Structure 1
């Protein structure tokens, strides 16, 4: 930024104020810090900063209340909301309240700086314009969608940004990752929240019945059609239709679906009068639709109609930091469902669960927690209490020990050959592998990869240059 800018930081946590003040001042940014939101309302009458960074939970006026007040009085002022509660409800509430961005704690200072730079640019671009920001704050919580992993924060952000939209969304991810939960959250936090949410798994309906299930039928249109019946499109009129496993839809129905998306109308099976509907489509698949298109199994024009906004649900094996959190949640849910006391995982068992691959993803973990609630004899769940199939699914060897053993063998061989300065060779090779895998897991997004590695973004960028690595081409940020 060429001009000196002014940022206000509001947080009742002194350490957070200190970190942000130090970071921003190092970037030649003027900073004022406050331990409550009440103070700044009077100051805003005489001075407007370029952006505000505010915590959510504070004594007196909290962050969301402040956000609402600022949206009414200073609609062009960007507000970055911080919260230690890294969940969907916090993100959606922030975005629906008009927040410029959402910054979950603990945060990387490079990420905070990037958001500040964007906020200031936004502020200066819109300073002479007027925007209307709605003041409705989401009150519904979504405890079934839990995640502190970077990839889940991206999902929360997407839901928040889409909360005032009726745009078509495509959700992709492996089976059991929670695609329908995201679809329901998108509907619940949308302007259509009071209308119907209709879900249909296209892979679960026999091929010859799917057309009638989607579009309905008239009496006598086929054998067994004793009366007229509305289909899922009519049932979802005004609301949302969730089409799960869209990649399995037969080709002829893909054509009919494309026509509905294009024209907003269709005919029942055996019908002659067009039926107009206003339906938001959210589709989901575990398949690679681009590959299906190349193979001629999925219409390219329909793919582009559906792929307006894409949300990726990460597999559970890439969310290790969420596994214990999810397990506690599912154990509590199962206890409530069965009317028993909540059971707890001991440390070894919790650690063991985080080391599993979970091919069935979140759904598999939920089922295991329900099984443990019923079958575990005590209130504390030990390794011996786990079902046999989970213990048999142990990775062939302990990954950490296996890796260290390989390293020891390699080092022993090198030293026996009188190799010198071994670390000068080993450390860059190790860092290169770690960077490559981190970028792979984040789709090439450097900010997220840096978080996985425990570095700042600037450190990652410097390492990539030092190691002579190629620039990531997909989703670099």
Structure 2
């Protein structure tokens, strides 16, 4: 969506005054796309593509006092283009929600009202980072970018090196932000097809009705708007690699056609009867448990087995131990040069906090934290309080007092009841239910449907339970950072 002369900037805010002010301030430097809500933004992106940068308000219609629309849009923008740099424009009372947005992949958040020079500086930093990452993606070999010396990282790198020489499909599994696309590029660049095209499609970023034509191409007149014949991604990949990210989002009715391609290499353009042949290697990735989805009937079991001939697990950052410090140093050195600032360093307490933090957004979150630290504390020694201000509140490491095991965890319920002089059972059960729901939502990164599956509930039941808990004063925190 980049113009030949100016980078593109998406502005999403329901306040016309803010829209006009931002447009007046930024129109000279950016190609602007302005939307008032999430559906309008998505409709614009379907035709124009992902922007280079985005300025998003979290509180969007129809629920302007909640953050779910803005948070969902962050995920959708990054699905369209992982290099898109997102800055959240937030009200002061939304800081907790803005922190959650950073965990999802937003680069930075700015409190409203924001000074023009502060906004320009943030956009300049974001654009510089995007351009640098784009160059690295094009110029560098992928495998050295999978940094770390921990056992899980070494195992993943060994698998990638071993599988690169084959033409069999590979399924890359891992949470969002663990580097699945980098792993896919490593498979391509280390293999014999390194000089052939590498084509990537995020299955979650394309409307369900358009995925078939995007993958296989279409004939002229095949559907409304098909004014000419168009090659699909399989043809564009040629004898190279086709990377299908978020493969679990592929519609069920399209899965047999992908299975046919994997088994025979044959497919047809939409609206044609001519059979075509592809020699592209398919690499798929998912942040879902496809084996579980296959058992539940949400994904074809035969397609899962065909895609997962070879499997690579990209480990979550919380399992990588001291690699978190190695990655910190790597990104500090890298972005200190890019941003032309003096490095910052963590003091002893902040280092301990860094190593204890879970990084729910994985390497993507870590990288963005480093950028914000350098933006705010260049040349300084960063303490624990300053570091915690950049971390997700729900994932902060506990203090020693918080780590003390309550009686319900130790099993000494009788002692707890006796010491308290009795309990109100309904209140105690509500607190336990609240803790389990909150834990499931954290594990699902705020996705309601996934959290419901983890709890063995349907989504409407989970909504009802959350609303009931809120009425009794047991709101799930943060209560309005949930998505569908």
Cross-structure match for 2:149: 148
Cross-structure match for 1:283: 284
Measure, in 2, the Cα distance between the counterparts of 1:304 and 1:385: 47
Give, in angstroms, the shift of residue 354 of structure 1: 1.2
Change beyond 3 A, Cα 1:268–1:302: same
Measure, in 1, the Cα distance between the counterparts of 2:141 and 2:208: 37
Cross-structure match for 1:180: 181
Change beyond 3 A, Cα 1:349–1:387: closer
Change beyond 3 A, Cα 1:208–1:387: farther
Measure, in 2, the Cα distance between the counterparts of 1:228 and 1:343: 54
Give, in angstroms, the shift of residue 377 of structure 1: 4.5
Measure, in 1, the Cα distance between the counterparts of 2:338 and 2:390: 24
Change beyond 3 A, Cα 1:155–1:305: same
Change beyond 3 A, Cα 1:222–1:315: same
Change beyond 3 A, Cα 1:155–1:273: same
Partners of 1:238 and 1:278 within 8 A in 2: yes
Cross-structure match for 1:330: 331
Measure, in 2, the Cα distance between the counterparts of 1:376 and 1:318: 28
> Cα deviation per residue 1:249-295 (whole Å; 9 max; x = unaligned)?
10111111011111112111112222211011111111111111111
- Give me the TM-score of the superposition, normalised by structure 2: 0.52
Partners of 2:172 and 2:180 within 8 A in 1: yes
**1:254 equivalent in alignment to 2:224:** no
Specify the SS of the correspondent of 2:145: coil
1:404-423 → structure 2 map (5 Å cutoff): none
Partners of 2:197 and 2:237 within 8 A in 1: yes
Change beyond 3 A, Cα 1:272–1:396: same
Cross-structure match for 2:205: 204
Give, in angstroms, the shift of residue 187 of structure 1: 0.9
Measure, in 1, the Cα distance between the counterparts of 2:146 and 2:397: 31
Partners of 1:242 and 1:283 within 8 A in 2: yes
Give, in angstroms, the shift of residue 305 of structure 1: 0.6
Give, in angstroms, the shift of residue 322 of structure 1: 0.9
Cross-structure match for 1:321: 322
Measure, in 1, the Cα distance between the counterparts of 2:331 and 2:238: 34
Partners of 1:201 and 1:243 within 8 A in 2: yes
Larger radius of gyration: 1
Change beyond 3 A, Cα 1:378–1:268: same
Give, in angstroms, the shift of residue 376 of structure 1: 1.8
Change beyond 3 A, Cα 1:190–1:400: farther
Measure, in 2, the Cα distance between the counterparts of 1:375 and 1:325: 21
Change beyond 3 A, Cα 1:344–1:309: same
Give, in angstroms, the shift of residue 372 of structure 1: 1.4
Measure, in 2, the Cα distance between the counterparts of 1:243 and 1:392: 33
> Cα deviation per residue 1:278-332 (whole Å; 9 max; x = unaligned)?
0111111111111111111111111111110111111111112211111111222
Measure, in 1, the Cα distance between the counterparts of 2:313 and 2:262: 22
Partners of 1:166 and 1:191 within 8 A in 2: no
Cross-structure match for 2:38: none
**1:157 equivalent in alignment to 2:170:** no
Partners of 1:328 and 1:344 within 8 A in 2: no
Partners of 1:332 and 1:343 within 8 A in 2: no
Measure, in 2, the Cα distance between the counterparts of 1:169 and 1:264: 16
Measure, in 2, the Cα distance between the counterparts of 1:400 and 1:239: 55
Structure having greater relative contact order (Cα 8 Å, sep ≥ 6): 2
Cross-structure match for 1:104: none
Partners of 2:331 and 2:370 within 8 A in 1: yes
Change beyond 3 A, Cα 1:227–1:318: same
> Cα deviation per residue 1:37-75 (whole Å; 9 max; x = unaligned)?
xxxxxxxxxxxxxxxxxxxxxxxxxxxxxxxxxxxxxxx
Specify the SS of the correspondent of 2:143: coil
Measure, in 1, the Cα distance between the counterparts of 2:397 and 2:322: 22
Cross-structure match for 1:304: 305
Cross-structure match for 2:194: 193
Moved more, 394-403 or 332-341: 394-403
Root mean square deviation, CA, Å: 2.8
Measure, in 2, the Cα distance between the counterparts of 1:325 and 1:184: 22
Measure, in 1, the Cα distance between the counterparts of 2:382 and 2:143: 27
Measure, in 1, the Cα distance between the counterparts of 2:251 and 2:164: 31
Measure, in 1, the Cα distance between the counterparts of 2:397 and 2:162: 42
Cross-structure match for 2:377: 376
Cross-structure match for 1:234: 235
Specify the SS of the correspondent of 1:183: helix
- Give me the TM-score of the superposition, normalised by structure 1: 0.53
Partners of 2:238 and 2:280 within 8 A in 1: yes
Measure, in 2, the Cα distance between the counterparts of 1:396 and 1:385: 14
Measure, in 2, the Cα distance between the counterparts of 1:284 and 1:157: 18
Change beyond 3 A, Cα 1:141–1:359: closer
Measure, in 1, the Cα distance between the counterparts of 2:315 and 2:165: 24
